[in-house]
Amino acid sequence: MDIKKVFENNEKWIQDKLSVDANYFTELAKGQNPNLLYIGCADSRVTAEELMGCEPGEAFVHRNVANMVVSTDLNCQSVIEYAVKYLEVKDIVVCGHYGCGGVQAAMQSSDMGLLNPWLRNIRDVYRMHAIELGKIIDDNARYKRLVELNVQEQCINVIKTAVVQNAHRTRGITVHGWVFDLESGKLIDLKIDFNDILSKIMEIYRLEQD
Protein backbone atom coordinates (compact mmCIF):
# COMPACT_ATOMS: atom_id res chain seq x y z
CA MET A 1 0.00 0.00 0.00
CA ASP A 2 1.21 3.48 -0.85
CA ILE A 3 2.20 5.48 2.26
CA LYS A 4 0.14 8.47 1.13
CA LYS A 5 -2.91 6.21 0.94
CA VAL A 6 -2.39 5.20 4.57
CA PHE A 7 -2.92 8.77 5.77
CA GLU A 8 -5.90 9.20 3.48
CA ASN A 9 -7.42 6.06 4.94
CA ASN A 10 -6.71 7.35 8.44
CA GLU A 11 -8.61 10.57 7.76
CA LYS A 12 -11.56 8.63 6.40
CA TRP A 13 -11.51 6.32 9.43
CA ILE A 14 -11.57 9.31 11.77
CA GLN A 15 -14.54 10.84 10.01
CA ASP A 16 -16.38 7.52 9.94
CA LYS A 17 -15.95 7.12 13.71
CA LEU A 18 -16.95 10.72 14.48
CA SER A 19 -20.02 10.48 12.28
CA VAL A 20 -21.32 7.72 14.56
CA ASP A 21 -20.04 9.09 17.89
CA ALA A 22 -18.70 12.63 18.23
CA ASN A 23 -16.98 11.65 21.51
CA TYR A 24 -15.39 8.45 20.16
CA PHE A 25 -11.76 9.54 20.45
CA THR A 26 -12.33 11.44 23.69
CA GLU A 27 -13.57 8.23 25.27
CA LEU A 28 -10.87 6.13 23.61
CA ALA A 29 -8.14 8.34 25.09
CA LYS A 30 -9.36 7.78 28.66
CA GLY A 31 -7.74 4.34 28.84
CA GLN A 32 -8.04 0.70 27.89
CA ASN A 33 -9.84 -2.16 29.59
CA PRO A 34 -9.47 -5.21 27.33
CA ASN A 35 -10.69 -8.60 28.48
CA LEU A 36 -8.56 -10.49 25.98
CA LEU A 37 -4.86 -10.93 25.27
CA TYR A 38 -4.30 -12.15 21.71
CA ILE A 39 -0.93 -13.66 20.75
CA GLY A 40 -0.80 -14.23 17.02
CA CYS A 41 1.37 -14.37 13.93
CA ALA A 42 2.81 -11.26 12.30
CA ASP A 43 1.58 -12.45 8.89
CA SER A 44 0.05 -9.45 7.10
CA ARG A 45 -3.04 -11.47 6.16
CA VAL A 46 -3.95 -12.27 9.76
CA THR A 47 -5.25 -9.01 11.24
CA ALA A 48 -6.15 -9.78 14.82
CA GLU A 49 -8.86 -7.20 15.55
CA GLU A 50 -10.55 -7.55 12.18
CA LEU A 51 -10.89 -11.33 12.20
CA MET A 52 -12.31 -11.22 15.74
CA GLY A 53 -14.56 -8.23 15.07
CA CYS A 54 -12.94 -6.24 17.88
CA GLU A 55 -13.01 -2.48 18.26
CA PRO A 56 -10.00 -0.50 19.53
CA GLY A 57 -9.60 -1.10 23.25
CA GLU A 58 -11.18 -4.57 23.28
CA ALA A 59 -8.08 -6.73 22.72
CA PHE A 60 -4.47 -6.40 23.82
CA VAL A 61 -2.40 -7.79 20.95
CA HIS A 62 1.08 -9.23 20.51
CA ARG A 63 2.25 -10.62 17.17
CA ASN A 64 5.47 -12.24 16.04
CA VAL A 65 6.65 -14.80 13.49
CA ALA A 66 4.60 -17.99 14.00
CA ASN A 67 2.85 -16.84 17.22
CA MET A 68 5.64 -18.00 19.50
CA VAL A 69 5.80 -17.69 23.30
CA VAL A 70 9.49 -18.09 24.12
CA SER A 71 10.75 -17.76 27.69
CA THR A 72 13.75 -15.67 26.61
CA ASP A 73 11.67 -13.29 24.49
CA LEU A 74 11.35 -10.30 26.83
CA ASN A 75 9.01 -8.57 24.41
CA CYS A 76 6.39 -11.33 24.54
CA GLN A 77 6.93 -12.01 28.24
CA SER A 78 6.48 -8.31 29.04
CA VAL A 79 3.24 -8.23 27.07
CA ILE A 80 1.91 -11.21 29.03
CA GLU A 81 3.00 -9.68 32.35
CA TYR A 82 1.37 -6.33 31.57
CA ALA A 83 -1.83 -7.82 30.18
CA VAL A 84 -2.35 -10.23 33.06
CA LYS A 85 -1.03 -8.28 36.05
CA TYR A 86 -2.05 -4.73 35.18
CA LEU A 87 -4.84 -4.95 32.61
CA GLU A 88 -6.24 -8.06 34.32
CA VAL A 89 -7.40 -9.74 31.12
CA LYS A 90 -9.72 -12.70 31.62
CA ASP A 91 -8.71 -14.73 28.57
CA ILE A 92 -5.47 -15.36 26.69
CA VAL A 93 -5.60 -16.61 23.11
CA VAL A 94 -2.73 -18.08 21.13
CA CYS A 95 -3.84 -18.06 17.49
CA GLY A 96 -1.91 -19.71 14.69
CA HIS A 97 -2.98 -19.96 11.08
CA TYR A 98 -2.82 -22.42 8.24
CA GLY A 99 -0.46 -21.10 5.57
CA CYS A 100 2.06 -19.92 8.18
CA GLY A 101 5.41 -19.27 6.51
CA GLY A 102 7.31 -19.56 9.78
CA VAL A 103 6.04 -23.06 10.47
CA GLN A 104 6.63 -24.05 6.87
CA ALA A 105 10.21 -22.75 7.01
CA ALA A 106 10.82 -24.69 10.22
CA MET A 107 9.92 -27.93 8.42
CA GLN A 108 12.84 -27.43 6.05
CA SER A 109 16.53 -27.87 6.80
CA SER A 110 17.69 -24.82 4.82
CA ASP A 111 19.76 -22.09 6.47
CA MET A 112 17.49 -19.12 7.26
CA GLY A 113 20.20 -16.89 8.68
CA LEU A 114 19.05 -14.72 11.59
CA LEU A 115 15.76 -16.62 11.69
CA ASN A 116 17.48 -19.89 12.63
CA PRO A 117 17.35 -19.42 16.43
CA TRP A 118 13.68 -18.45 16.24
CA LEU A 119 12.72 -21.34 13.97
CA ARG A 120 14.58 -23.73 16.25
CA ASN A 121 11.73 -23.33 18.75
CA ILE A 122 9.24 -24.57 16.15
CA ARG A 123 11.58 -27.37 15.13
CA ASP A 124 11.63 -28.42 18.77
CA VAL A 125 7.83 -28.70 18.61
CA TYR A 126 8.26 -30.99 15.59
CA ARG A 127 10.81 -33.07 17.49
CA MET A 128 8.49 -33.38 20.51
CA HIS A 129 5.66 -34.66 18.30
CA ALA A 130 7.77 -36.50 15.72
CA ILE A 131 5.99 -39.83 16.18
CA GLU A 132 2.53 -38.37 15.53
CA LEU A 133 3.72 -36.20 12.64
CA GLY A 134 5.70 -39.05 11.10
CA LYS A 135 2.51 -41.08 10.72
CA ILE A 136 0.91 -38.40 8.53
CA ILE A 137 1.69 -39.26 4.91
CA ASP A 138 0.27 -36.17 3.21
CA ASP A 139 2.72 -33.25 3.40
CA ASN A 140 0.02 -30.60 3.62
CA ALA A 141 -1.86 -32.46 6.34
CA ARG A 142 1.37 -32.88 8.30
CA TYR A 143 2.11 -29.18 7.93
CA LYS A 144 -1.37 -28.21 9.15
CA ARG A 145 -1.02 -30.51 12.13
CA LEU A 146 2.31 -28.89 13.04
CA VAL A 147 0.56 -25.50 12.96
CA GLU A 148 -1.95 -26.87 15.49
CA LEU A 149 0.69 -28.52 17.67
CA ASN A 150 2.72 -25.32 17.67
CA VAL A 151 -0.32 -23.44 19.00
CA GLN A 152 -0.73 -26.11 21.67
CA GLU A 153 2.88 -25.84 22.82
CA GLN A 154 2.78 -22.04 22.91
CA CYS A 155 -0.38 -22.20 25.03
CA ILE A 156 1.50 -24.43 27.46
CA ASN A 157 4.34 -21.90 27.50
CA VAL A 158 1.80 -19.22 28.43
CA ILE A 159 0.40 -21.39 31.23
CA LYS A 160 3.92 -21.98 32.58
CA THR A 161 4.47 -18.28 33.29
CA ALA A 162 4.31 -17.31 36.95
CA VAL A 163 2.00 -14.36 36.33
CA VAL A 164 -0.58 -16.56 34.59
CA GLN A 165 -0.37 -19.23 37.30
CA ASN A 166 -0.92 -16.60 39.99
CA ALA A 167 -3.85 -15.07 38.11
CA HIS A 168 -5.40 -18.50 37.66
CA ARG A 169 -5.24 -19.17 41.39
CA THR A 170 -6.46 -15.75 42.54
CA ARG A 171 -9.09 -14.68 40.01
CA GLY A 172 -9.40 -17.28 37.27
CA ILE A 173 -7.97 -16.87 33.80
CA THR A 174 -8.36 -19.10 30.76
CA VAL A 175 -5.95 -19.91 27.94
CA HIS A 176 -7.31 -20.81 24.50
CA GLY A 177 -5.66 -22.30 21.40
CA TRP A 178 -7.10 -21.22 18.06
CA VAL A 179 -6.21 -21.52 14.39
CA PHE A 180 -7.30 -19.13 11.64
CA ASP A 181 -8.10 -20.76 8.30
CA LEU A 182 -7.11 -18.34 5.53
CA GLU A 183 -9.08 -20.26 2.90
CA SER A 184 -12.42 -19.97 4.71
CA GLY A 185 -11.87 -17.01 7.04
CA LYS A 186 -12.95 -19.14 10.00
CA LEU A 187 -11.51 -19.13 13.49
CA ILE A 188 -11.17 -22.69 14.79
CA ASP A 189 -11.07 -23.47 18.50
CA LEU A 190 -8.71 -26.42 18.89
CA LYS A 191 -10.41 -27.34 22.18
CA ILE A 192 -7.09 -28.43 23.66
CA ASP A 193 -7.35 -30.71 26.70
CA PHE A 194 -4.81 -28.89 28.86
CA ASN A 195 -5.58 -30.96 31.94
CA ASP A 196 -4.52 -34.13 30.14
CA ILE A 197 -1.39 -32.55 28.68
CA LEU A 198 -0.31 -30.82 31.86
CA SER A 199 -0.83 -33.93 33.98
CA LYS A 200 2.07 -35.52 32.13
CA ILE A 201 4.56 -32.83 33.12
CA MET A 202 3.48 -32.08 36.68
CA GLU A 203 6.67 -33.74 37.95
CA ILE A 204 8.62 -30.91 36.32
CA TYR A 205 6.15 -28.03 36.53
CA ARG A 206 3.39 -27.29 39.02
CA LEU A 207 0.77 -26.14 36.57
CA GLU A 208 -2.91 -25.39 36.83
CA GLN A 209 -5.49 -24.76 34.10
CA ASP A 210 -9.25 -25.21 33.93
- To the query of whether residue 168 is one of the catalytic residues in this protein, the response is no
Residue tagged active-site, from 62, 76, 95, 97: 97
Distance separating alpha carbons of residues 40 and 156, to the nearest angstrom: 15
- To the query of whether residue 100 is one of the catalytic residues in this protein, the response is yes
Nearest to 36 by CA among 24, 54, 17, 16: 54
One-letter amino acid for residue 3 of the chain: I
- To the query of whether residue 54 is one of the catalytic residues in this protein, the response is no
Distance separating alpha carbons of residues 44 and 52, to the nearest angstrom: 15
Residue tagged active-site, from 16, 21, 45, 120: 45
Residue tagged active-site, from 43, 76, 168, 176: 43
Distance separating alpha carbons of residues 131 and 135, to the nearest angstrom: 7
Residue tagged active-site, from 62, 76, 95, 100: 100
Distance separating alpha carbons of residues 190 and 95, to the nearest angstrom: 10
Distance separating alpha carbons of residues 18 and 68, to the nearest angstrom: 37
Q: Using the 8-state DSSP alphabet, how is residue 90 labeled? A: S
Please give the positions annotated as active site.
41, 43, 45, 97, 100
